[in-house]
Amino acid sequence: MNKQILDYPLFFLGFRTFFALAGLFALILIALWASIFDGSLVMDNYYSKTVWHAHEMLLGYCVAVIAGFLLTAVQSWTEDSVVKANQLLGLCLLWIYGRVVPFYSELLPDLLIALVDFSFLPVLAYFVAKPIIQSGKVKNLLLIGLLLLMTLGNYFIHADVLGFMDDSATMGLTLIVAMIIMMILVMAGRLFPLFIERGLQGVMAIRSPLLDSLAIVTSALVFMLLVFDVNGLVLTIAAVAAVIANIARVAGWYVQRIWYVPLLCVLYMGYAWIMMGFVFVALASVSLVPITLAIHAFTVGGIAVITLGMMARVSLGETGRALKVSNTIAIAFALINVSAVFRVLLPAVFPVGFNTFLLVSTYCWLAAFTLFVFIYTPILTTASVGSKQG
């Protein structure tokens, strides 16, 4: 029976399993959160309500996408198997247990709940780092460093819940957001120009190592200040510098024709939301908007838009399909951006309408991921087309 399960295409490569889990969890998580937020659902939980929501968005949904991407990309970079089917199944079960056990806080020891959730990132880092080190592709170890810093952030969250540290959950969550955005910025410099050149015939994206470095350094500085809760003029200057550096960076990749290619457009829009996040950090540093709007620009905007776009692209490419999405998925891309508009931009301008905007944002999110799950579940659970292995 186990052999039959492991022979199923869902366990051929990491992107299949974890993208499928990420899509389903994006629906379940936000549906649950909407019910918990409005008080219509009350559930025992190891975390507080807001910490659970943030933790599961980052270490549930986002980490599932990261796991699927890295387990697949590292195999391509190193030309070596990262995980076997049985190991992939074990990783998936560990991730699932981490999502489920917090709801059994009345039955299970808090330390066990923390250990189950905490163990996933170190195990993932081990499986990803091993072939990188063996192949000598050491420049990719930067990604392992980011995973380990995310692990540190998760430690701060659990240390707060368990009473080992005081008020450290916010620092932990901020550190995790920072590391996910930094991972996106690093990979964007490697992949986005390449995607544009392959997707638009005759286009040569302009790459600038100097601008890449400035964008990474200024962005990292902003996040370091946020993690250590440094406010005031220094944060304002750093955030403005990050906006300018990132605009200069992506300007070299910009071609007007990207707006006619949804798989390119969605990535560019996601990067725009990250830059918008830095704008909101600058505004929050002078008390013009709450810092939560900046965080949601990074998460509902940057992270959600880019991860949805990357899952769509990687799933097509790795299964031998043409890199062209259906109109249905193009609508999903539009909906996830509309969700961010209603969660970030409109509350900034019309704060009195927050509850209504939040409801619309929730519906748009659920619609976007419903479309993704509907279209991509058959792609992720069936064999590749043509001669493509994976």
pLDDT for 94-144, tens place per residue?
999 999 999 999 999 999 999 999 999 999 999 999 999 998 888 889 999
* CA–CA distance, 79 with 273 (Å, rounded to integer): 34
Give the separation between CA 96 and CA 373, rounded to whole angstroms.
18
**For 325-379, how does the pLDDT look when each residue is reduced to its tens digit (9 = 90+)?**
999 999 999 999 999 999 999 999 999 999 999 999 999 999 999 999 999 999 9
Structure tokens at 286: 């002078």
* Cα separation of the two ends of the chain: 22
Give residue-wise pLDDT tens across range 241-250: 999 999 999 9
Q: State mean pLDDT over 155-173.
A: 97
Would you state the pLDDT for residue 229?
Answer: 95
Amino acid symbol at 27: L
| pLDDT (0 to 100) of residue 388 | 59
Distance CA 226, CA 179 (A): 12
The pLDDT value given to residue 83: 87
CA–CA separation, 199 and 186 (whole Å): 20
Of the candidates 347, 346, 345, 340, the residue with the CA atom closest to the CA atom of residue 362: 340
Mean pLDDT within 173-178: 99
**What is the rounded distance in angstroms from the CA atom of residue 287 to the CA atom of residue 285?**
6
Average pLDDT, the chain: 95
The 10s digit of each residue's pLDDT in 29-66 is 999 999 999 888 888 899 999 999 999 999 999 999 99
What's the CA dihedral at 339, 341, 347, 353 to 10 degrees? -60
- Residue-wise pLDDT tens digits, 182-222: 999 999 999 999 999 999 988 889 999 999 999 999 999 99
Full-model pTM: 0.96
- 63-78 vs 120-135: helix crossing angle, rounded to 10: 10
Share of the chain above pLDDT 70, in %: 97
Per residue, what are the HEC states of the chain?
CHHHHHCCHHHCCHHHHHHHHHHHHHHHHHHHHHHHHCCCCCCCCCCCHHHHHHHHHHHHHHHHHHHHHHHHHHHHHHCCCCCCHHHHHHHHHHHHHHHHHHHHCCCCCHHHHHHHHHCHHHHHHHHHHHHHHHHCCHHHHHHHHHHHHHHHHHHHHHHHHHCCCCCCHHHHHHHHHHHHHHHHHHHHHHHHHHHHHHHCCCCCCCCCHHHHHHHHHHHHHHHHHHHCCCCCHHHHHHHHHHHHHHHHHHHCCCCHHHHHCHHHHHHHHHHHHHHHHHHHHHHHHCCCCCHHHHHHHHHHHHHHHHHHHHHHHHHHHHCCCCCCCCHHHHHHHHHHHHHHHHHHHHHHHCHHHHHHHHHHHHHHHHHHHHHHHHHHHHHHHCCCCCCCCC
The neighbour count for residue 230, using CB atoms within 10 Å, is 12
Quick: pLDDT tens for 84-106: 989 999 999 999 999 999 999 99
**Band of residue 1 on the pLDDT scale cut at 50, 70, 90:** very low
**In the prediction, which pLDDT does 360 show?**
98
Token pair belonging to 359: 């409801």
Residues 19, 270, 250, 242, Cα dihedral to 10° = -110
Q: How much is the pLDDT for 203?
A: 87
The length of the chain, given as a count of residues: 390
